Amino acid sequence: MGHDLELTLEKIAGLINGTVAGNGGCIISGMNSLDNAKEGDIAFYNDSRYREQAFATKASALIVAEKLEGYAGDQILVANPKLAYARLAAMFAPKAPRYEGISKDACIDETAVVGSGVSIYPFAFVGKNAVIGDNAILFPGVFIGNNAKVGSNSVLHPNVAVYENCIIGANVIIHAGCVIGSDGFGYVQSDEGNVKVPQLGNVMIDDDVEIGANSTIDRAANGTTHIKRGVKIDNLVQVAHNVVIGEHSIVVALSGISGSVNVGKNVIIGGQVGIKDHISIGDRAIVGSAAGVHKSIAEGEAVLGNPEMPPRLWMETRAFIRKLPELNKKVRELEKRLKEVEEK
C-alpha cells in the first residue's frame, strides 16, 4: 500500500513507545503484511509460526516484542506489538474521502444547523432542526431525522439512518446500513391481536463510538437507549430498547441484546451471544461466543455456553456431551443385566 506519509524509524519508535534496533534514520512510507511488504514498508511480527515469512519479507523494518536474532533488517522493539501496530496503522490509514462541501443534490431542511467544514454527499437527507457538527461527513443515502444531532468529526457511511431526536456524539464512525433509533420491539397481546406500544424515547451515542455495518440500535420506550463513550460494536448486532452499554465495551458480530439490559464498562461480548432482557452484565465481564445469557453476570465474571456457566464447567459439560452415546449404551446394557438378575 502506498502512502504520502514518510517517517523515520526513530520517529515511529517515539510514537509507539518503542526502541530501535538498527538504523533509526531508515525512512518508512507504508505498512503491509510480511508477505506483501516491499522496501520502505514496516511489517508486524508477533507469532513464531510466521518466522519464515519474517526472514523472507522485503519490508525495511519489523515491529516485534523481542529482537528477532538473525534478521538482517531494522526492528522496533515494543512491549505490546498489537497495540503498537494499531496506533501506527491509524497514522498510515487513508482518511474517509470527503465531498467538497454540501452537494446540491443533498436535501437539507432550511431549519437544520450545519457546522463548518461539513462534507455532505449527493442524496443525503437532513431533517428539520437537525444539527450537523463541524467537519462531519454524511455519505450518499444517509438519513438524519428531525431534531437529530450528529457531532463534530463523525462519519456516517452510506445508507445510515438516524431517526428523529437521536443524538450522535463527536468522532463517531457508523458504517453502512446501520439504523439508529428504529422502534423498540414492544407489543401487548389482546383479543384484537398485538397492540403496539409506542416507543417515545431516543438513542444517545457518546463520543468515540464505532458501529459496524448493518447493526441496529432501537430507541427507548421511554428515556434513552445509551451507548457510552468508546464502545465498539461489530457488524450485524441488535441492541434493543432501553439498553445501556458502558464505556469502552465491545460487542462482536451477530449478538443480540434484549431490552433494558445494563452492560457495564470494559465488557467483552463475543460473537452470536444472546442476552435476556432486564438483566445486568458487570464491569469487565467476558461473555464467550455463542453464549445464551439468562441471568445477571457479576463484575469481572467470565461465562460460556447456553445457559451461561463458568468456563471450566462449560468445558467439562461439553466433554460429557461427546460421551453421551457411549454412556447411554452402557446404561442400557446395565439395565438389561439388572433385569436378568431380578428375573432369576
Catalytic residue IDs: 241
Return d(Cα 248, Cα 267) in angstroms, integer. Answer: 8
Dig out the grid coordinates for 281 from the structure: 452484565
- Residues 108-144 as b/e (b if ≥16 CB within 10 A, e otherwise) read beeebebeeebbbbebbbbbeebbbbebbbbbbbbbb
How far is the C-alpha of 271 from the C-alpha of 304, rounded, in Å? Answer: 12
Q: Which of 46, 47, 61 is nearest to 10 (CA)?
A: 61
- 4 by Cβ neighbours in 10 Å (0-12 / 13-18 / 19+) ranks as exposed
| Cβ(45)–Cβ(62) below 8 Å | yes
